[in-house]
Amino acid sequence: MNLNAAAASLENNPETAAGKTVYVYEAPVRLWHWLNALCILVLASTGYLIASPLPSVAGEASANFLMGYIRFAHFAAAYVFAVGFLVRIYWAVVGNHHARELFYLPITDMKWWAGLVRELRWYLFLEKQPYKYVGHNPMGHLFMFLFVTVAAVLMICTGFALYGEGMGLGSWQDRLFGWVIPLLGGSQATHSWHHLGMWGIVTFVILHVYAAVREDIMSRQTMISTMIGGQRTFRE
């Protein structure tokens, strides 16, 4: 299929005709999405405060545990995030085909590339209308794959490697993830990559929230309510 034919088939997809409503995101996916959002909020803010701590507190050291609480919140949220990610992988296997989108890129599919070009032109104001999709549009799909799946794997690997340093040699965190530290050139470098990963995710969140709100208004299909109720309705 060449690009033009691919574009034509996207334009006339009966599934996305105006007035149609499709059930896209199943309950576990939606629940995971919002839990993940909460985790990221906690992880990014506490993580930033671990690298750049708050001004010193007064009083005896024994009477304070501020840094300890911040680190605890970070580690607790990290466990929820990691377990959530594992459950999400499980759901990708047993859930509907939209639940699998996060974990692969259809780079051999011409239709996907045609959609990606169209989406890019839409964001550059070169198209009057974007194509409609039941699941993610190709641009969203690409960003999801890079900044949710790949980033989560990197953050979990570097994060647990660093956590394993505190848990000690021989802990399961050390045995499973300890190899990451020499690979990245030491503990300090691993901290730096983990920190950069946080900024990558923060940048993604800004774009993600903007795109969701914008497309809800401008691209003839529901976005925000879809992640709440799971149904996507198409408009003219």
The nearer residue to another protein, 107 or 169, going by C-beta atoms, is 169
Kindly list the residues in this chain that would bind another protein in the complex (CB under 8 A): 51-57, 60-68, 70, 123, 125, 165-166, 168-169, 178-179, 181-182, 185-189, 191-192, 195-196, 198-200, 202-203, 206-207, 210, 214, 217-218
Q: Which is nearer to another protein, 73 or 87 (CB)?
A: 73
Indicate the residue among 214 and 235 with the shorter CB distance to another protein.
214
Measured from the CB atom, the residue of 69 and 90 that comes closer to another protein is: 69
Q: Which is nearer to another protein, 66 or 89 (CB)?
A: 66
Which residue, 48 or 113, has its beta carbon nearer to another protein? Answer: 48
Cβ at position 35, least distance to another protein in Å:
23
- Closest distance to another protein from the beta carbon of 217 (Å): 7
Closest contact distance (angstroms) between CB of 227 and another protein is: 19
**What's the min distance (Å) between Cβ of 213 and another protein?**
9
Looking at residue 75, its amino acid is F
SS3 per-residue string spanning the chain = CCHHHHHHHHHCCHHHCCCCEEECCCHHHHHHHHHHHHHHHHHHHHHHHHHCCCCCCCCCHHHCCHHHHHHHHHHHHHHHHHHHHHHHHHHHHHCCHHHHHHHCCCCCCHHHHHHHHHHHHHHCCCCCCCCCCCCCCHHHHHHHHHHHHHHHHHHHHHHHHHHHHHHCCCCHHHHHHCCHHHHHCCHHHHHHHHHHHHHHHHHHHHHHHHHHHHHHHHCCECCHHHHHHCEEEECC
What is the nearest approach in angstroms of another protein to the Cβ of residue 19? 19
Minimal distance, residue 194 CB to another protein, in Å: 8
Q: Select 53 or 106, whichever has its Cβ closest to another protein.
A: 53
Can you tell me which residue has the tokens 């040699």? Answer: 169
The CB-of-169 to another protein minimum distance in angstroms stands at: 5
The CA distances from residue 214 to 48, 209, 210, 219, 224, in Å, are 29, 8, 6, 8, 10
